[in-house]
Amino acid sequence: MDELAPLFREIFQDDTIAVRRETTAADVERWDSLTHIDMITMVEAHFGIRVPTRVVTRMRDVGDLVQVVQSRLK
C-alpha cells in the first residue's frame, strides 16, 4: 500500500488521495477507463510485473490490486 499511494497520487494528479484496500473507482473523481489503464501500466512498470487483461477486469478495488501485485512478486 505504501508504494501504491504515490502512484495513485501521480496518476490522478491529486496529492490528497488516501488509498485504502476498499478504495474503488467510484471513490476517486478522475478514475475512468483511461486512467485505469495508465494506473495498471504504471503499477506494472514500478513493480516489474505483467498483469493479464483477464485479471485486470476481475479487480474490484485496490485490495484486489494489492493481491495481484503480491502474487506476481512471489
Residue 19 is given by DSSP the state -
Three-class SS state of 73 = helix
Domain housing 59: 4-73
Output the pLDDT for position 1. 85
**Burial degree of 35 (CB within 10 A; 0-12, 13-18, 19+):** middle
Spans of the chain, pLDDT less than 70: none
Q: In a 10 Å sphere around its CB, with 0-12 CB exposed, 13-18 middle and 19+ buried, how is residue 43 labelled? A: buried
Indicate which CATH number applies to the domain containing 62: 1.10.1200.10
Number of domains in the chain: 1
Residue 73 and residue 49 in contact, taking contact as beta carbons nearer than 8 Å: yes
For residue 34, the model assigns a pLDDT of 94
